[in-house]
Chains A and B, each alone.
Chain A
């Protein structure tokens, strides 16, 4: 054993170190994935899809019976909400016409939000407890690129594409510890930062930091992307304020944000490949 370590131990560790450093350097400097990374992703895609399909099927069957009574209550609540939203929509339609008239009068450009979407299926949720990522079945061959934003079918922010291969991409979700997004408190327009936090990641929550001193946050306040810098579209809903806490030294406050979606239920998402927003 001793002979083995003296003969091979250093060379094996050196080999591991070279491979490790090689992987790190290639990952750091490339905007898309490296050849090996890409090949591994392409080869494992069918297995990931199969595992997700079978797992999803079992989960569907379990939920079918468990959720039935909950669904009846939800349908009733949703009917009431639809009625309220229809009333709001009628009011919004008249407001929109009035707004358009005022814009024409003062010579402002027409507001618009144009997105180029790519629909994608979730192939895999992160198998590690230390990160929160999703693997999707869309990649460079579908026009997906690193830093593209991913939203749910309801338009809620899911995360940002961090790694892309030929027919797959990895999405860092908003609750991952590496996430940091420019955000707006929708009610007041205050600029804040939404960031992943390790202590909250397990509960699928994130943190709202750098709160202005005079900010009066209310539980349930909507937090949306600020769009500052132009990397990400503005006004995508990140989540709502769940609670406001004091940080460890008691000098500053932060808020706990609850995303609008359940990451475990996500099966289909939309990648925003390009956007053009006039506000």
Chain B
């Protein structure tokens, strides 16, 4: 059982590691275009933490990440990241607790789930507001998820290390 101080240290470590990874990503890979799309980093952070942590913590992290993304990143509608990341973390935590053992495979599955939810909301918003063609949107969603998922090779071990260091 972690004390309140341990919890504070653990979540500070998660927060700082996430910020450092995001900054590193922005410095190096953000402008790289593959298959006509850019990698999108925040869903990976949400997915990995949701798959490693208990449901309440994972969902809270997803909620905070969502709000921060909505405040700093342009989206298809003002609260898209808050809704998508909270829902994805909730479902991801359920997946990690009942179907898959927390690990790399589980992180990959939750990451795909997070992209699926986020892109479904983006597609819905753009379909309603701009009558965007579904085929083109689905293609972009698929390419975005495909090129972003390899970043798990970095994100998962780093966050796993933080989890093991401050939980076990």
Contacts and interface: CB of A to CB of B under 8 A. Distances in A.
Given A1-B97, A23-B79, A41-B72, A125 B63 contact: no
Contact of A131 (B60, B74, B90): B74
Interface string B121-156: 010001001101100110010001000000000000
Contacts of B137: 198
A127 interface: yes
Contact of A12 (B40, B41, B90): B90
Nearest to B22: A47
Contacts of A197: 130, 132
Nearest to A51: B26
Contacts, number: 126
A9 interface: yes
Contacts of B40: 127-129
Given A5-B94, A13-B86, A40-B72, A55 B130 contact: no
A133 B74 contact: yes
Contacts of B133: 198-199
A55 B30 contact: yes
B107 interface: no
Given A12-B86, A16-B86, A127-B30, A170 B67 contact: no
B73 A47 contact: no
B76 A24 contact: no
Given A5-B94, A129-B144, A199 B136 contact: yes
Contacts of A178: 129-130
**What is the interface residue range for chain B against chain A?**
35 or more
B132 A19 contact: no
Nearest to B32: A55
A40 B75 CA distance: 15
Given A1-B55, A130-B122, A13 B144 contact: no
Query: Helix, strand, loop or mixed for chain B's interface?
Result: helix
Residue among B40, B60, B78, B132 with the most chain A CB within 10 A?
B78
B70 interface: yes
B16 interface: no
B38 A1 contact: no
Interface in A130-159: 130-131, 133
Nearest to B64: A19
A1 B136 contact: no
A103 interface: no
Interface in A214-269: 264
A196 B130 contact: yes
A189 interface: no
A36 B78 CA distance: 13
A178 B125 CA distance: 11
Nearest to B123: A130
Interface in B39-87: 40-41, 55-56, 59-60, 63, 66-68, 70-79, 82-83, 86-87
A19 B72 contact: no
B82 A20 contact: yes
The list of the 10 closest CB pairs from A to B, nearest first, reads A20-B79, A198-B132, A40-B71, A16-B86, A51-B26, A133-B74, A27-B78, A177-B130, A24-B78, A1-B97
Given A130-B76, A198-B137, 14 more contacts: A5-B90, A16-B63, A20-B83, A23-B70, A23-B79, A24-B78, A41-B72, A128-B73, A128-B74, A130-B140, A199-B132, A199-B133, A202-B37, A202-B140
19 contacts: A5-B90, A12-B59, A12-B90, A16-B66, A19-B82, A23-B70, A24-B78, A41-B71, A51-B23, A55-B27, A55-B30, A125-B31, A126-B73, A127-B41, A128-B40, A129-B144, A177-B132, A198-B132, A202-B36
